[in-house]
Amino acid sequence: MPLSGLLAALLTQVMAQASTQPAGLRAPPPGRAILEATSAPSADDVQGYCSYVTGISKSARALLEAPELFGYFAMNNSVNSVLSADSFPLTGYTYIPTYEVAVAAQYHFGHLFASFENRDRAAADCQRYHYVSALHTVVQAFQEPEATIPALQARAAVLNAALPRAAEILASVQGDLREAKATAEELNATELRVDALRADAQQTAEALEAQAQRVDPPSMSAAELLAKRDAAEKNLAYHEVQEQRAGAWDILVRGGYDRIYGVRDTLPLFVSVGLVFNFGWFFQADAARLAEKGRRAWVDVQMEGLDQRVHIALARARAQLNADSKRYQETTVLLADLEEQMKSVLPLGGPKVKRYRDYLWFDLTRVRAENAFLKANVTELQSWLREGVAQP
C-alpha cells in the first residue's frame, strides 16, 4: 500500500476512535453544584452539638442533685376548755391563736437516680449525633462521584506535562507556514488542538480549586455507620424512657427547725422520711418498647430522611464506579492502540508524516489524560465504597 494510503487509513481510524472520547473535562450533570466547604460536617459540628446536650443535661442535673431549702409560717387556732363559775360545771371553749415557724431542708433520692439517667441520655444523644454527622459526611462526599480530587489531580498532571510540547508543535507549524511548508488550514487546526488542551488544563485546575475543601468520607463504611447509628438510636430511646421511669418513685428525707409558739417544745427539731411511688410505673414497659421501635422506624422511613439520602448517594457512587470501570477498560485498549500507531509512524519522515504525528500526539495526550483520570476515579470510589473490587 502506498504511504499516502497508509497515512489516510491511520488518520481515518484515529479520528473515528477519538470521536468517541469525551472532549475536555467531564462536566457535572445539570443542576449539580460543586460541594461547598461551608456545608460539610466536621469535628466542630459534633463537638458543638455534644456541648449543647451536655450543657442542658448539666443544667438540669444541678437542680436534680442539689438539696432543697424550704420554710413556712403558719397561724393556727388551738382550743382550750374552761369551767363555768356556777356550782354545776359547764364546759366552755376558748380559741387561742398559735404561730408556727419552720425552716428545713429536704433531699429527693429519687431525683438523684433521675439525674444519672439524664446524664446517660445526654451521652447517648451525643453518641447518636456522632454517627448522624458522619452519615451526612457520606452523603456530601458522594454527592459528586463523577470527578474526585485524585482523579482531577491525575488528569492535571498529564495535561500540564503536555502543554510545553503543545507549544513547541504550534511554534513549529507557525515556522513551517512562514517557510511555505504548511498551510493556513493546518495552522488553524493545530491552534484549535492547542487551545482545547489548554482549556482542558484550565478547567481541571478550576475544578481542583473549587473542590480543595471538599470533605472526604469517614474511615468507617456507610453500612457500619448505619448499623452503629441504629444501635445509638435504640440506646437513646431506652435512656429517654428510663429517665421518665426514674421519676415514678422518690425517697424524700426532710429535717430542720419547726417551732410552734405558745406550745412547750424543748427541742424544736424534726426529721422525716417519706416514700412516694407512682403505680403508672407498671404500665410504662410496653410504652417503652413501643418508643424504641417507633424511633427507629421513624428514622428509617421519614421522607427525605438521612437513611434515604445515604442509600441514594451510595447507589450513585456505585453506578459511577461501574461506568468508570468500563470506560477505563475501553480507554486502556484505545491508549494501547494509539501508542502502537505512534511507534509505527515515528521512524517515518516527511512533512505530511510529521503533521500526522503531531495530530496523533494530541489525540494520544487526550486519551492518556482521560485514562489517568478514570483510573484514579475508580480507585478512589473503590476506596470510598469498600467494595473489595480489584484495583485497576
Query: Residue 203: which domain range?
Result: 1-32+148-210+311-392
Per the domain annotation, does 56 fall within a domain?
Answer: no
Query: Do residues 19 and 72 both lie within one domain?
Result: no
Q: pLDDT band for 388, please (50, 70, 90 cuts).
A: very low
For the question of whether the overall pTM of this predicted structure is more than 0.75, the answer is no
Per the domain annotation, does 107 fall within a domain?
Answer: yes
Query: Do residues 131 and 228 both lie within one domain?
Result: yes
Domain boundary among 271, 301, 331: 301
Per the domain annotation, does 37 fall within a domain?
Answer: no
Q: Decide which of 77 and 16 is more confident.
A: 77
Query: Do residues 262 and 392 both lie within one domain?
Result: no
Domain count, the chain: 2
Provide φ and ψ at 307, rounded to 5°. Answer: -60, -45
Query: Do residues 90 and 111 both lie within one domain?
Result: yes
Flag whether pLDDT at 348 surpasses 90. Answer: no
Per the domain annotation, does 40 fall within a domain?
Answer: no
Query: Do residues 204 and 183 both lie within one domain?
Result: yes
Query: Do residues 330 and 268 both lie within one domain?
Result: no
Query: Do residues 131 and 233 both lie within one domain?
Result: yes
Query: Do residues 243 and 392 both lie within one domain?
Result: no
Instruction: Give the pLDDT confidence of 69-115 residue by residue, as tens digits.
Output: 988 888 776 655 544 455 445 455 556 677 888 899 999 888 888 89
Per the domain annotation, does 162 fall within a domain?
Answer: yes
Domain boundary among 252, 283, 301: 301
- Give the chain's mean pLDDT: 77
Per the domain annotation, does 55 fall within a domain?
Answer: no
Q: pLDDT band for 28, please (50, 70, 90 cuts).
A: very low
Query: Do residues 133 and 237 both lie within one domain?
Result: yes
Q: What is the mean pLDDT of residues 344-358?
A: 76
> Cα(103)–Cα(71) distance, rounded to whole angstroms?
4
Q: Which of 185-199, 273-287, 298-312, 355-369 has the lowest mean pLDDT?
A: 298-312
Query: Do residues 112 and 127 both lie within one domain?
Result: yes
Q: Decide which of 161 and 8 is more confident.
A: 161
Q: Decide which of 25 and 57 is more confident.
A: 57
Per the domain annotation, does 306 fall within a domain?
Answer: no
Instruction: Give the pLDDT confidence of 355-384 residue by residue, as tens digits.
Output: 788 888 888 899 999 999 999 989 888 887
Can you give the pLDDT at residue 2?
A: 43
Query: Do residues 137 and 241 both lie within one domain?
Result: yes
Q: Decide which of 288 and 86 is more confident.
A: 288
Domain boundary among 282, 301, 320: 301
Instruction: Give the pLDDT confidence of 315-340 residue by residue, as tens digits.
Output: 888 888 999 999 999 999 998 988 88
Can you give the pLDDT at residue 8?
A: 41
Query: Do residues 135 and 82 both lie within one domain?
Result: yes
Per the domain annotation, does 61 fall within a domain?
Answer: no
Can you give the pLDDT at residue 155?
A: 92
What is the 3-state secondary structure of the chain?
CCHHHHHHHHHHHHHHHHCCCCCCCCCCCCCCCCCCHHHCCCHHHHHHHHHHHHHHHHHHHHHHHCCEEEEEEEEEEEEEEEECCCCCCCEEEEEEEEEEEEEEEEEEHHHHHHHHHHHHHHHHHHHHHHHHHHHHHHHHHCCCCCCCHHHHHHHHHHHHHHHHHHHHHHHHHHHHHHCCCCCHHHHHHHHHHHHHHHHHHHHHHHHHHHCCCCCCCCCCCHHHHHHHHHHHHHHHHHHHHHHHHHCCEEEEEEEEEEEEECCCCCCCEEEEEEEEECHHHHHHHHHHHHHHHHHHHHHHHCCCCHHHHHHHHHHHHHHHHHHHHHHHHHHHHHHHHHHHHHHHHCCCCCHHHHHHHHHHHHHHHHHHHHHHHHHHHHHHHHHHHCCCCCCC
